[in-house]
Amino acid sequence: MNISEFERQKPRKTHKTITNLIKKYKKIIIDMPIMDDDDAIRVEMAADFAKELENLKKTFEKGE
């Protein structure tokens, strides 16, 4: 498969899903009030998920 064929068939749904998940977790980071330790843990986990998804998105976009 040549590069133009890959570009034409690129999995756009997967890319959009990753992008939407990043937005979802960033929204949790911004909007969730931290009232106790459980809330802090949720926000920290959301930050970790967003970071990992951003790394996944970069790898995906490079085609690795």
Query: DSSP assignment, residue 1?
Result: -
Query: Which structure tokens are listed for 46?
Result: 């959301």
Q: Kindly tell me if the per-residue pLDDT of 16 is higher than 80.
A: yes
Q: Give exposure, 5-31, as e/b (b: 16+ Cβ within 10 Å).
A: eeeeeeeeeeeeebeebbeebbebeee
Q: Is the pTM of this model over 0.85?
A: no
d(CA 57, CA 22): 9
What is the per-residue pLDDT across 20-58, written as a single tens digit (0 to 9) for each? 999 999 999 999 998 999 999 999 999 999 999 999 999
